[in-house]
Amino acid sequence: MSTAIPRRQLGAQGLQVCAIGLGCMGMSDFYGPADDQVSLKVLNRAIDIGVNFLDTADMYGMGSNERLLAQVLKTRRSEVVLATKFGHVRGPDGAVLRIDGSPEYVKSACEASLQRLGVDHIDLYYQHRVDRKVPIEETVGAMAELVKAGKVRHLGLSEASASTVRRAAKVHPIAALQSEYSLWSRDVEQEVLPVCEELGIGLVAYSPLGRGFLTGDIKSVNELDPGDYRRQNPRFQADNLPANLALVEALKEIAKARGCTAAQLALAWLLHRSPHVVPIPGTRSIARLEENAAAAAIALTAVEERKIADVLSERTVAGSRYPSAGMANVNV
């Protein structure tokens, strides 16, 4: 039976999702080995407790993440708001070869995702990264044709700049922009979030727990699997780690006083930024899933918000959120 997780609206076209969704990337890629059977239990438990917003992408596991979700969707499709993405083209070895936003690729990628997911439509279809070589008007125009064809219900962008969002919205209504947003990644507050608010576009916050760092459980990259992407992430490196650990410890003190976990505090903070922000923390643990979902019931006081703001102003986040190659493809 579903719990009473509040719903939020993404965009002005009526797309309703749970206030805290589930990012599925780590079930198939980037964070070391995963167990599909365990992941399936997490996915089913998510739906059971009212976490109905599932986020995947064609690049996660080079299609294997979509195929994983297909095993759940074949019996529970009507209970799920399904989001997936296109744009990254990967080689046989998994390397990202390019970003493709051409109209031809938009259509072929959608067809491939529909087949892997085993569904006849996608609820929210994102361009995963903006293709600098293709005008956003052409990409979104092709995405709009998928809506007309009934293959996609709503459109989204990911890591697009404020100006790109404006241009895209003139072609077709945009329901959501997915960008990294958390206590230690607040770039979107400068220009992007205000534009989303102005245009009635929801903001889906990925990595809302700082790729797990804001839980307070990671003290060193040596604790991570050898194949874990975070070993190459600047914020996890030894020269940046002390400053970032100090930030997390300060936030943990606020969480302790509140009687919640650091992760729950981080998610509750995001939910208080705007009624149209929806974080999508990823997890491969039922216990973590339930902990994250419970954050939707936490109402921070004005005093707690001020304490968090003080911590953020006093302690600087060390390191960029991606290596240089990854940073070149955000806020485009």
Residue of 33, 49, 30 lying closest to 296 (CA atoms): 49
* Residue 2, amino acid: S
Catalytic residue flag (residue 31): no
d(CA 302, CA 309): 10
Q: Which helix (H) or strand (E) holds 38?
A: helix 36-48
- The single residue of 60, 105, 181, 206 carrying the catalytic annotation is 60
Count CB atoms within 10 A of the CB of residue 167.
15
Burial of 220 (0-12, 13-18, 19+ CB in 10 A): exposed
Q: Which residues pair with 155 in a beta bridge?
A: 125
Q: In sequence order, what E strands does the chain have?
A: 7-10, 15-18, 22-23, 53-55, 81-86, 88-90, 96-99, 122-127, 152-158, 176-180, 202-206, 277-279
Q: Which residues are catalytic?
A: 60
